[in-house]
Amino acid sequence: MERKYFAHPTAVVEEGAEIGEGTKIWHFAHVRSGAKIGRYCNIGKDVYIDVGVEIGDHVKIQNGVSVYRGVKLEDYVFVGPYAVFTNDKYPRAFSTNWEVIPTLVKKGASIGANATIVCGITIGEYAMVGAGAVVTKDVPDYGLVLGNPAKLKGFVCVCGRPLSKIARRDRSVVIYECAHCGREISVNAKDYERMLRESREDS
The DSSP-derived string for 14-77 is -TT-EE-TT-EE-TT-EE-TT-EE-TT-EE-TT-EE-TT-EE-SS-EE-TT-EE-TTEEE-TT-
**Beta bridge partner(s), residue 38:** none
Distance between CA 154 and CA 69 in Å, rounded? 30
Cis peptide before 149 (omega within 30 of 0): yes
Query: 25: burial class by Cβ within 10 Å (0-12, 13-18, 19+)?
Result: buried
Distance between CA 21 and CA 40 in Å, rounded? 6
Average pLDDT over residues 164-188: 96
C-beta of residue 48 within 8 angstroms of C-beta of residue 34: no
C-beta of residue 119 within 8 angstroms of C-beta of residue 104: no
Strands across the sheet with 24-25, in order?
6-7, 24-25, 42-43, 60-61, 78-79, 110-111, 128-129, 143-146, 151-155
- 136-162, pLDDT tens digit by residue? 999 999 999 999 999 999 999 999 999
Q: What is the pTM of this model?
A: 0.95
- 103-144, pLDDT tens digit by residue? 999 999 999 999 999 999 999 999 999 999 999 999 999 999
Give the pLDDT of residue 21: 97
C-alpha dihedral sign at 36, 120, 61, 93: negative
